[in-house]
Structure 1
Amino acid sequence: MASVARSSALLKQVAAQQSVAANGLRVAAFHTTSRKSLLPPPPQRIEGTVNDPVEVPPPSPSHGSYHWTFDRVVAAGLIPLTVAPFAAGSLNPTMDAVLAATILIHSHTGFGNIIVDYVPSKRVPKARKVFTWGLNAATVLVGLALYEFETTDVGLTETIKRVWKA
């Protein structure tokens, strides 16, 4: 009787292992399908060997910690510039122009950081130039549009005030 009980327990264990193996094969078969890339990877090249030292770029005030500090100061400066016109109840054109200029600078440096981070100049130098010139052109265009909006229309803070109440 004990041998029958052992054999039935053994059969259950083997059946469980077979079902796990069958499920595992299905999962493995699902996960090993070929992956299709939407876009091919950009060209890659290796300069030097593994033992070559990394070139340290020369210090520049427009890069590194100065650049990071400037970005943070501009971002922090946007907070009082955004709140002040509404808290004081004053719609001063000078404050409006400073807010528009700060938003423009903040946007330009932010998108510039995205381009620097995600469009490497070593791998795709032409695309980097195109994106940089596109950013510069867009910044000039938006700057002109904001100037026109500030001088001939109601201005940025008045527009925000009207949209907020609508």
Structure 2
Amino acid sequence: MASIVRPSLLRQTALAAKPAFRNSALRASAFHTSTRRSAFISPGPQRIEGTVNDPAPVPPPSAAHGSYHWTFERLLAAGLVPLSVAPFAAGSLNPTTDAILCSAVLLHSHIGFQSVIIDYIPQKSHPGLRKLFMWGLNLATLTVGVGLYEFETNDVGVTEAIKKLWKA
């Protein structure tokens, strides 16, 4: 009885029963197994450096990377939950809570985009492109920081703007 519900047996039975289904299944499977791929970044040179018996390189110890860095990211992400509620609870006329919220969101976004660049643009094969994206991220973070500062000091502020948009 258990052999009847095997997927391979069901597939064979369905393919044998309806020839029209078999043709569409073959077309669908040919479509799904296509080897044509388009990628933003080329794979780069494929070369092996060293031998199989070489040890993995150990990075130099740094307090800014590793467990302290990970702990800071987690604390920042967890701290955004109460920080997103605090300006609304304290009132929108409190610029300190607005500034802390804007700084935390900006730093959280910068760290997140930096992780994406590190993960998807390899240093070995594309060092120039990685450096370009890192400088672009730093420039974008600086631009957004200046914009948020101007919005906080010369306009209504982020919390009041969100309140106005919510009521609109």
Q: Which 5+ residue runs of structure 1 have no aligned equivalent? A: 1-15
For the pair 1:31 / 2:30, whether they are aligned, the reply is: yes
* Corresponding residue of 2:115: 113
SS of the counterpart of 2:123? coil
Q: CA deviation at 1:90?
A: 4.8
Q: CA deviation at 1:34?
A: 5.1
* Corresponding residue of 1:99: 101
User: Over aligned residue pairs, what C-alpha RMSD do you find?
Assistant: 2.6
1:36 counterpart letter in structure 2: R
Q: CA deviation at 1:149?
A: 0.6
- Are the equivalent residues in 1 in contact too, given 2:106–2:145 (CA < 8 A)? yes
Q: CA deviation at 1:29?
A: 9.6
Q: CA deviation at 1:154?
A: 0.3
SS of the counterpart of 2:124? coil
Q: CA deviation at 1:65?
A: 1.1
Distance in 1 between residues matched to 2:66 and 2:82, nearest whole Å:
26
For residue 69 of structure 2, the aligned residue among 35, 44, 67 is 67
Give a deviation string over 1:5-34, Cα, whole Å, max 9, x none. Answer: xxxxxxxxxxx8x948x849x728953875
Task: Give the TM-score normalised by structure 2.
Answer: 0.77
Q: Which has the higher contact order (CA 8 A, sep 6+)?
A: 1
Task: Give the TM-score normalised by structure 1.
Answer: 0.78
| Cα distance change on mapping 1:93 and 1:48 into 2, 3 Å | same
- Are the equivalent residues in 2 in contact too, given 1:112–1:135 (CA < 8 A)? yes
Give a deviation string over 1:23-51, Cα, whole Å, max 9, x none. Answer: 49x72895387522223732133211222
- Are the equivalent residues in 1 in contact too, given 2:106–2:141 (CA < 8 A)? yes
1:27 counterpart letter in structure 2: L
Distance in 1 between residues matched to 2:87 and 2:54, nearest whole Å:
56
- Are the equivalent residues in 2 in contact too, given 1:97–1:150 (CA < 8 A)? yes
Q: Following superposition, which runs of at least 4 residues in structure 1 exceed 6 angstroms of deviation?
A: none
For the pair 1:144 / 2:143, whether they are aligned, the reply is: no
- Are the equivalent residues in 1 in contact too, given 2:92–2:159 (CA < 8 A)? no
Q: CA deviation at 1:153?
A: 0.4
- Are the equivalent residues in 2 in contact too, given 1:42–1:124 (CA < 8 A)? no
- Are the equivalent residues in 2 in contact too, given 1:45–1:123 (CA < 8 A)? no
Distance in 2 between residues matched to 1:86 and 1:27, nearest whole Å:
58
Larger Rg over CA atoms: 1
Aligned residues: 149
Give a deviation string over 1:39-70, Cα, whole Å, max 9, x none. Answer: 37321332112221101111111111111111
SS of the counterpart of 1:62? coil
* Corresponding residue of 2:85: 83
SS of the counterpart of 1:114? helix
* Corresponding residue of 2:57: 55
